[in-house]
């Protein structure tokens, strides 16, 4: 086989083991280098799969007794504008998207690719949202909890229990609260990706209405671009008026 043919072969997901063994006897230096690179990739993939399976430890405790468990997470606690969004996701026992992880560890492009796959493979997905007006009325912590409650209640299948990222959801279900849960549970990680992509897409739409603030880039967080626009143009109808930089901007514009 030519080097380029071997290169293409080793890019395949499951190359023929017998052919691999034969290639290992090939004396060419280029072949040895390709095989070494292939072995490193396989070792990395093996480690990734093991870590992925390890993040099902909490789910397995429920699955073993025939129970359905939902992972719950939220995104958007810190931004100055836009809603807080929560997602609840029930994964099947054969869920195999090993790229699923804490949304902060997954690139935007990868999150976008995983989003429809999670929706397709999940047993059920629920999304909850509390807008900036609710946040201003009841505070961000309570708005978080209400968004999570809404997400759980929107599940088409009722879970027997919840795995939650460091929060308590005001629903009558057994709950396990996990600090940094999106790095410990695939169900919570899947929920974090769904919530993140859903909210980012909302902010992309808001950016069309309020182009000065760069919402498509900052998702409502207080970047220098966003703060500069706040100082120049003042708050929009989607800004959180109880958040200090927005409150200061509003007061300044009222004086002017």
- Establish whether 165 is an annotated binding residue: yes
197: left (phi > 0), else alpha (psi -120 to 50), else beta? alpha
Burial class (CB in 10 A: 0-12, 13-18, 19+), 225: middle
Q: Which of 142, 152, 151 is nearest to 172 (CA)?
A: 152
Burial class (CB in 10 A: 0-12, 13-18, 19+), 253: middle
- Establish whether 144 is an annotated binding residue: no
In SS3 terms, 25-49 reads as: CCCCHHHHHHHHHHHHHHHHHHHHH
- Establish whether 136 is an annotated binding residue: no
Q: Where are the beta strands (DSSP E) in 30-170?
A: 69-75, 84-90, 124-130, 161-165
* Cβ 228 vs Cβ 214: under 8 Å: no
Which strand (E) or helix (H) includes residue 148? helix 140-153
Binding residues: 73-74, 165
Binding residues for a divalent metal cation: 73-74, 165
């Amino acid at each position: 086989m030519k080097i380029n043919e071997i290169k293409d072969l080793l890019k395949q997901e499951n190359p023929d083991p017998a052919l691999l063994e034969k290639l290992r006897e090939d004396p060419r230096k280029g072949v040895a280098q390709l095989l070494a690179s292939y072995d490193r990739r396989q070792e990395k993939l093996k480690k990734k799969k093991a870590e992925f399976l390890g993040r099902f430890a909490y789910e397995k405790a429920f699955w073993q007794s025939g129970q359905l468990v939902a992972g719950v997470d939220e995104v958007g606690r810190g931004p100055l504008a836009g809603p807080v969004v929560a997602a609840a996701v029930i994964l099947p026992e054969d869920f195999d998207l090993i790229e699923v992880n804490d949304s902060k560890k997954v690139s935007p492009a990868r999150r976008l690719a995983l989003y429809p796959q999670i929706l397709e493979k999940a047993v059920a997905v629920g999304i909850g949202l509390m807008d900036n007006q609710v946040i201003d009325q009841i505070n961000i912590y309570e708005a978080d909890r209400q968004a999570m409650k809404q997400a759980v209640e929107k599940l088409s299948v009722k879970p027997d229990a919840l795995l939650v990222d460091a929060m308590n959801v005001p629903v009558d279900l057994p709950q396990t609260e996990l600090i940094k849960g999106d790095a410990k549970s695939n169900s919570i990680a899947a929920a974090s990706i769904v919530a993140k992509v859903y909210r980012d897409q909302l902010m992309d739409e808001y950016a069309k209405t309020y182009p000065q603030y760069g919402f498509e880039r900052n998702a409502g967080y207080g970047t220098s671009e966003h703060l500069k626009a706040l100082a120049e143009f003042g708050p929009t109808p989607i800004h959180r008026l109880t958040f200090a930089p927005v409150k200061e901007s509003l007061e300044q514009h009222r004086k002017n």
